[in-house]
Amino acid sequence: PSPKSCQPNGASEEALQCEIKELKQKDLALDQEIAQLLSEGYSLEELDKHISLLHEYNEIKDAGQMLLGKLAVIRGVTTKQLYPEYDLELSD
């Protein structure tokens, strides 16, 4: 995401207009990205399935991180110290 072009401070009409403009730009960018993926041969169903699988992956990863955190507390170590024990990379 690009940095915001304006920084609304409150719910003034000007701030709301700025937010509307940014949302329209974001909508246009997403439409262009979808069009690009469709032109590359992806189907909407395939994209929906991919997004669904990414959500599932993130939920599983979050649960794993939570378990590693609890185990680290029990053992009195950092989660980083547990990674080698479970053959995990710091980028995992």
- Of the candidates 30, 1, 7, 31, the one whose C-alpha atom is nearest the C-alpha of residue 19 is 7
Residues 37 and 49 in one domain: no
**How long a stretch of residues is the chain?**
92
Residue 2 lies in a domain: no
- In a shared domain, residues 61 and 72: yes
The domain of 70 spans: 43-91
Task: Please report whether residue 1 resides in a domain.
Answer: no
CA distances from 62 to 17, 19, 33 (A): 36, 31, 27
Please report whether residue 54 resides in a domain.
Answer: yes
- What is residue 59's predicted lDDT score, i.e. its pLDDT? 97
Q: How far apart are CA 4 and CA 62, in angstroms?
A: 29
**Which residue in this structure is represented by tokens 């378990």?**
67
Number of domains in the chain: 2
Statement to judge: residues 31 and 58 lie in one domain: no
What does the pLDDT profile of the chain (92 residues) look like in tens digits? 444 556 655 568 888 899 999 999 999 999 999 899 889 998 888 888 989 999 999 999 999 999 999 999 999 999 999 999 989 888 76
